[in-house]
A = this chain, B = another copy of it.
Amino acid sequence: MQPTIYDVAKQAGVSIATVSKVVNNKGRIGEQTKKKVIAIMKELNYQPNAFAAALTGKSTQTIGVIIPDLANPYFAELAKCLEDEAHKMGFSLMICSTDNNSEKEETYINLFIRKKVDGCILASTLSNPQLVTELAIQYMPVVLAGQAILEKDLPAVSVHDQQGGYIATTHLTALGHQRIAIIMEPKAFSSLERLKGYKKALKEAGLIYDENLVMTADATLTGGADAFRLFVDMEQPPTAIFACNDVLAIGVCQEAHRASIHIPDELSIIGFDNTILASVTSPPLTTVAQPLREMSRQMITTLLTSSNEKRGNQQFVFEPQLVNRQSTAKLN
């Protein structure tokens, strides 16, 4: 059995209160006793039971994170950044991947409540938005990641998705493309915003919005490939595609390659997120970058400060940036 505070106290010949004080470095204790207690703790390999501590009101120093898919490099990178930032602040993460499965979402949220995490970061667009509000009101601070406007009254940090969609599409129109398709993710708030930017760019370029050119696909390689096939089978296929994330974009690249359609000469494609994938493909993927590191930092600090005091509702929006590589080219 693991040693408890009682074991340490007994060994050291002091009371548990004293041990507690040295553990937490609180109150006044004599140098002598302090040293002795510390020695005993080492000897017994004592680790305070976080539960017992939490029960009496201490924080658990844990942050819950809900993301749709850890295997998507974008979210893996997000998770890593969050982990780094949290660790700097002395917090650890409970990372949960939901696969956009609403049952899992609910399970995990309840888990967070039961485990008394100090707050949570929601990077999935939950199927049940009411759950989020409830969570935030009744239980713990919440920050939304990448879904700025969904819940107007909740702290959120994201890129300016609309702007991102606009940048991407404008890049394509500037290259002379007229039939530009878009592939969105299902249920993702960010995709909706990016679509708005897409429309705006189209309009500015004097192009008309064609519903046939918008498709929805799961954020996987095969999702992108499937969407691609639907596009090429059209009577009038697009000459450029804006995929709402890199994985989708690369899915179409691969399928295009299989179909012997050359990128970017015959088809331009632009992604979003600037994940490691984008730098690695051939041709390297033109994409839109998010300042993940800064965003992560902001998420953590926002979460941690909003737990102290609700200082008005906070929405942080970061600027996306075009990363021009070689998967897009002038229409010829």
Contacts and interface: CB of A to CB of B under 8 A. Distances in A.
Interface of A: 2, 45, 47-52, 54-55, 60, 62, 69-71, 73, 76-77, 79-80, 83, 87, 92-97, 104, 107-108, 110-111, 113-116, 134, 138-139, 221, 250, 254, 257, 276-277, 279-283
Contacts of A77: 70-71
A280 B247 CA distance: 10
Given A70-B83, A76-B76, A51 B116 contact: yes
A85 to B, nearest CB: 12
B280 A114 contact: no
A8 B244 CA distance: 46
A279 B80 contact: no
A258 to B, nearest CB: 12
A135 to B, nearest CB: 10
Contacts of A138: 2, 45
A276 B282 CA distance: 14
Nearest to A110: B47
B80 A114 contact: no
User: Most chain-B CB neighbours within 10 Å: which of A60, A62, A83, A93?
Assistant: A83
A45 B69 CA distance: 28
Of all A-B residue pairs in the complex, the 3 with the closest CB atoms, nearest first, are A282-B282, A76-B76, A51-B51
Contacts of A69: 80
B113 A97 contact: no
Nearest to A45: B138
A55 B83 CA distance: 27
A83 B96 contact: yes
B71 A80 contact: yes
Contacts of A254: 279-280
Contacts of A111: 92
B221 A279 contact: yes
User: Most chain-B CB neighbours within 10 Å: which of A49, A95, A138, A281?
Assistant: A95
Contacts of A282: 257, 281-283
Given A51-B55, A281-B282, A276 B113 contact: no
A113 B55 contact: no
A76 B70 contact: yes
Contacts of A48: 114
Contacts of A87: 104, 107
A139 B107 CA distance: 28
A286 to B, nearest CB: 15
Contact of A2 (B62, B79, B113): B113
A132 to B, nearest CB: 14
Contacts of A108: 92
A100 to B, nearest CB: 13
15 contacts: A2-B138, A47-B113, A47-B114, A49-B114, A50-B51, A50-B116, A51-B55, A70-B76, A70-B79, A87-B107, A93-B94, A221-B280, A254-B279, A254-B280, A277-B277
Contacts of A76: 70-71, 73, 76, 79
Given A49-B116, A51-B55, A73 B276 contact: yes
